[in-house]
Structure 1
């Protein structure tokens, strides 16, 4: 393996696994891990990847033709957005403050935008697709989120990448961001603190409860793998 390549372990959504014996098939709960070799990436690329995943989940909600499909992609969207938002607040925004001249103002602005998104997500994440408020709540949420993501990609992240300098420094931040997301809540908690260390403590308390809740929610890949419904 070259110096510029490392092996990472990626945490996937909690999933129900099946163990088959001669007498019965038993569902058990567990976490899925996958190991892949990836090259160093900049923090702007990692954030853009998360944003693209959110754009895809949003598009899938809009394109879904069945109630079940909409529910699955609503859950996927919630899972992605909750982890991404808190991961930025714990890892990326402190990096703004440390490395950028106007980083404190930039971080405070982005945290305020996150708070609006969290409040909208808290309203949306349990709405039934047949609820009259489903589409309008998603539209309001997406309008705020889309603007926030575009601004980060055009201004915030290029500035941070430039300040970090070498690819290795940026890659170190990416690894911290990726590790942190493994232990974060997967649902919206708009009343929780939005800065470390208090956000870290609250997140660690909320995450196990959220992960248990996720075991009883349907996700897109469940339909593909044939898992038993919760």
Structure 2
């Protein structure tokens, strides 16, 4: 079974790969959808699973949740800003780099032993971590499943998901708050 930290690290690797592929692609041939969707899906699932777990299972969890929410808000804001530009525009590159400035330290800090995931794992039994990991993967799969071969929704669907209030999204996914 997958522990919660392994599930999150798996998403980190997907996001990093999509980022580097986007960054290295010919600007005229870039397709940012895979990166945008991998990052958005991660941010949504982290908000629905990891943040509540921090609140409930670690010391100063509410403070860490608040900091995590600030990271998510900043990354989301920069991601929306990037989407305002065509992939071949210089402003797209600048916006993509700005996302990475927030995202890379967030992922690195989250996975160190003293980071959110390390503290969360230390506070959970193996079974509880695996249960949380299963929940994380189940929600990620629910967000992934209906969208074609590469798992990227069309622009209309993506916009609807991203603009949906958290509570409404939780109801549609059949997820209750922890």
Query: How far 1:94 moved relative to its partner?
Result: 0.4
**Rounded Cα–Cα distance in structure 1 between residues aligned with 2:17 and 2:70:** 24
User: Which of 31, 55, 59 is the aligned partner of 2:20?
Assistant: 59
Pick the structure with more helix per residue. 2
TM-score, normalised with respect to structure 1: 0.62
Q: Give the alignment's TM-score, normalised by structure 2.
A: 0.79
Check conservation: 2:110, 2:116, Cα contact below 8 A: yes
Map of 2:130 onto structure 1: 171
User: Given the superposition, is the C-alpha separation of residues 75 and 200 from structure 1 closer, same or farther in structure 2, using an over 3 Å criterion?
Assistant: same
**Following superposition of structure 1 onto structure 2, how do residues 101-116 of structure 1 map, counting pairs within 5 Å?**
101-116=59-74
The residue aligned with 1:157 is: 117
1:1-230 equivalences in 2 (<5 Å) = 40-65=1-26, 67-68=28-29, 70-71=30-31, 74-154=32-112, 155-166=115-126, 168-184=127-143, 186=158, 189=162, 199-202=166-169
Cα gap change, 1:42 to 1:79, in 2 (>3 Å) = same
Whole-angstrom distance in 2 between the partners of 1:103 and 1:112: 14
Counterparts of 1:102 and 1:62 in 2: how far apart (Å)? 37
Asked if structure 2 preserves the Cα contact closer than 8 Å seen for 1:80 and 1:186, the reply is no
Give the whole-Å Cα distance in 2 for the aligned partners of 1:202 and 1:47.
Answer: 20
Instruction: Check whether the contact 1:83–1:186 (CA below 8 A) recurs between aligned residues.
Output: no
CA contact (8 A) 1:90 1:200 kept: no
Count of aligned residue pairs for this structure pair: 157
Preserved CA contact (<8 Å) 1:54 1:80 = yes
Change (3 A) 1:49 1:135: same
Per-residue deviation, residues 59-85 of structure 1 (Å, max 9, x unmatched): 1012213622x21xx110001011110
**2:75 and 2:99 in contact (8 A); partners too:** yes
What stretches of structure 1 of length at least 5 have no aligned partner? 1-39, 194-198, 208-230
Between 1 and 2, higher relative CO (CA 8 Å, sep ≥ 6) is seen in: 2
SS class of match (2:121): helix
Query: Aligned partners of 1:126, 1:182: CA distance in 2, in Å?
Result: 28
